[in-house]
Amino acid sequence: MSSKKKSKQFEYVKKEVLEGKSSNQIQKDLRDHNMGMRRKVLLATIREMKGTRIKPDRFKYVPLKYRHPKSGRPVSEERLNRAERRIQLSFGQKQITIAGTVNGRPHRIQIKGRGRDLYRVMGEIIRHPPKKRFLTTTTDKVVGELNFYEDWDRRPNVNS
C-alpha cells in the first residue's frame, strides 16, 4: 500500500474521530470510500488519536472456554479444577431421561453415567420413582433418591 493512500486513510480517520463517530461507523465509511483498513490497525489508530490505553486485565472478561492459555492473566487453580471436573464428568458418559407420573403429578429424572450402570439404574427407577419430582443426578447417587413407597401410574417413558 502506498504511503499516499495510508496518509489519506489516517487523515480520514482523524476527521471521523473528531466528529465523534464509532469505530464501526468509521470502518464502514472507509470501506465505502475504497480505503479499507484492518480492524486491529484501525482500533490502534483510534486509541492513539484519543490517547486511551488498552485495559490491563482485558482477558479477565473473556469466558474460560474461549480463553487462550497464554493470555495475559493466569487462571486461578480453583477455576481450572472446576473446568477439569466438568470435562471429566462429560467425557465418556451417556445420559438418559425417565419421565412419567406418580399420583397424577409429573416426575422426571435425568441420569448421567456409563452404559452398564445406566441400564442397572434404569431397572430400579422403573420399579420405584424418585422422591423429588424433577431430579438430575449421576448413577452413583440414584439409589438414595428413590422413593420405595410409591409406584408409577403407568410405565414411564425412557429417552436416551
Domain-embedded: residue 56: no
Task: Let me know whether 105 and 154 are in one domain.
Answer: yes
pTM for the model stands at 0.43
Mean pLDDT by groups of 10 residues along the chain of 160 residues: 73 87 90 87 86 73 67 59 59 81 88 85 85 84 77 84
CA distance 41 to 153: 67
Domain assignment of residue 137, given as a range: 90-159
Number of structural domains (the chain) is: 2
- Taking CA atoms, 55 is separated from 47, 59, 113, 115, in Å, by 12, 9, 43, 48
Domain-embedded: residue 84: no
Q: What is the DSSP string of 93-144?
A: -EEEEEEEEETTEEEEEEEEE-HHHHHHHHHHHHHS-BSSSEEEEEGGGSGG
Q: What pLDDT, on a 0 to 100 scale, did the predictor assign at position 38?
A: 87
Task: Let me know whether 96 and 44 are in one domain.
Answer: no
Q: What pLDDT, on a 0 to 100 scale, did the predictor assign at position 74?
A: 57
Task: Let me know whether 95 and 154 are in one domain.
Answer: yes
